[in-house]
């Protein structure tokens, strides 16, 4: 049994928007920070564009790319914690407001750049297929 297209689209929109909001705000120490508007509102705008343009597949790849960046930041922070301060712990990145803000904006930037790249790749593939 398959889902009707409008329901499938609604589920995809909800999942992608949640993934963007969570991944983009992972570096924020407080969930009430004004910077949470970047991944929540910006993610909503990107998801709305993808849904209207019927490009949810490309958005899915972009969200995956953003989460790879989240993983890289997490691993990088862990390596720095172990290598740079073996005797004592350093505070998590979210405890520093400037790097957390730069990281939040950077993660949203990764999403935008990846989405644009996947859109361009898809358009080139569609153009090549129609020739």
Cα–Cα distance for residue pair 17/12, rounded to 1 Å: 8
DSSP letters spanning 91-107: PPGGGSHHHHHHHHHHH
- pLDDT tens string 17-60: 999 999 999 888 887 889 999 999 999 999 999 999 999 999 99
Residue 119: which pLDDT band, with cuts at 50, 70 and 90? Answer: very high
Q: Which residues have CB under 8 Å from 11's CB, separation 6+?
A: 3
Domain borders along the chain are 5-130
- pLDDT tens string 55-98: 999 999 999 999 999 999 888 877 777 777 666 666 666 677 88
Cα–Cα distance for residue pair 90/92, rounded to 1 Å: 6
């Amino acid at each position: 049994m398959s889902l009707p297209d409008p329901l499938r689209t609604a589920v995809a929109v909800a999942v992608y928007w949640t993934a963007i909001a969570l991944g983009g705000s992972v570096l924020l120490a407080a969930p009430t920070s004004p910077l949470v508007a970047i991944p929540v509102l910006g993610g909503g705008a990107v998801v709305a564009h993808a849904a209207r343009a019927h490009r949810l597949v490309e958005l899915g790849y972009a969200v995956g790319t953003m989460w790879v960046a989240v993983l890289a930041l997490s691993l990088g922070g862990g390596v720095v914690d172990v290598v740079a301060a073996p005797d004592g712990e350093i505070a998590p990145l979210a405890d520093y407001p400037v790097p957390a803000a730069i990281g939040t904006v950077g993660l949203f930037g990764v999403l935008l750049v990846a989405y644009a790249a996947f859109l361009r790749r898809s358009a080139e593939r569609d153009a090549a297929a129609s020739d």
